Amino acid sequence: MDLELKGKLAVITGGSKGIGLGIARTFAREGANVLVNARDSKALEAAARAISDDFGTTAIPVAADVSTAEGCEAIIKAAAAAGGADIFVSNAGTGSNETVADAPDEKWMDFWNLHVMAAVRLSRGLADQMEARGGGAMLMNASICAVQPLWYEPIYNTTKAALLMFGKCLSSEMIKRNIRVNTVNPGLIRTPDWENTARELRGESWEAYLQEVADEHADIRRFGTVEELADFCVFLCSPRASYSVGSAYHVDGGMLKTV
């Protein structure tokens, strides 16, 4: 299936590793150019070079902290200099570990800025570029934890739930400008972060630990791959998903226990 993405510019935050890198590589595989963002310039530049080498498309690295207004503005300006964005994937984020009783205000604000305000600022700033190019698509990468929280990360759960609602509100505004907005809520995706956590907890038996987590939480009894999730995300951002507007999709192997 031709996803009709050749020559489009996709902006992906958190694009140097894990899910973000997988999404960027999948866009490039489909012929799109990508603007990838992360804070670690060395890792980001290496990822961008690999994308260009592997797929022959343009990969623009923009090292910036999207939890700040200045970082978001750097991405918006870089996209404009490249001709304007067609697609935006708000992916930058990280997990948390705390209790509500003990977490300081500063930690709440850090996660709010990273998970929510980055999406607000970038979608607002990139929308004009998309509209000038005839429309586009935006995708919020939230989490299953937005609707089915894990007990040890209340800040992550709360900010991802806010991102989910933001995507819905944004969609109603943006569709009038021919920009589709959707949200994806991944479940267990086998990222480097999950693998590192497993190694820290179980040492040489880390893969057995991941299997135990999958057995407990996912009906499919395995982690999803980054590539499986990326394929879904890129399809949602393509013209082939043109009637998908304001929706939230769980890509979770049966982890969600409600309807």
The CATH number of the structural domain formed by 9-188+225-251 is 3.40.50.720
pLDDT (0 to 100) of residue 93: 97
pLDDT (0 to 100) of residue 53: 98
What pLDDT band is residue 137 in, cutting at 50, 70 and 90?
very high
pLDDT (0 to 100) of residue 96: 93
DSSP codes joined into one string, the chain: ---S-TT-EEEESS-SSHHHHHHHHHHHHTT-EEEEEES-HHHHHHHHHHHHHHH-S-EEEEE--TTSHHHHHHHHHHHHHTT--SEEEE---------TTT--HHHHHHHHIIIIIHHHHHHHHHHHHHHHTT-EEEEEE--GGGTS--TT-HHHHHHHHHHHHHHHHHHHHHGGGTEEEEEEEE-SB--HHHHHHHHHHHGGGHHHHHHHHHHHH-TTSSPBPHHHHHHHHHHHTSGGGTT--S-EEEESTT-----
Amino acid at 142: A
pLDDT (0 to 100) of residue 115: 98
How big is the CA angle at 193 (ends 190 and 197), to the nearest 5 degrees? 100
pLDDT (0 to 100) of residue 144: 98
pLDDT tens digit sequence for 150-186: 999 999 999 999 999 999 999 999 999 999 999 999 9
Active site includes 152?
A: no
pLDDT (0 to 100) of residue 10: 99
Name the percent of the chain lying above pLDDT 90: 100
Please identify which of the residues 156, 209, 243, 249 carries the catalytic annotation: 156
pLDDT tens digit sequence for 109-119: 999 999 999 99
Average pLDDT for 2-29: 98
206, two tokens: 């880390």
Average pLDDT for 203-216: 97
pLDDT (0 to 100) of residue 258: 95
pLDDT (0 to 100) of residue 33: 98
Looking up tokens 């570990």 gives 97
Q: How far is CA 105 from CA 50, 100, 223, in A?
A: 39, 10, 33
Mean predicted lDDT score pLDDT of the chain: 98
pLDDT (0 to 100) of residue 234: 99
Average pLDDT for 6-12: 98
CATH 3.40.50.720 placement within the chain: 9-188+225-251
Average pLDDT for 25-38: 98
pLDDT (0 to 100) of residue 128: 98
What pLDDT band is residue 9 in, cutting at 50, 70 and 90?
very high
What pLDDT band is residue 50 in, cutting at 50, 70 and 90?
very high
Q: What is the pTM of this model?
A: 0.97
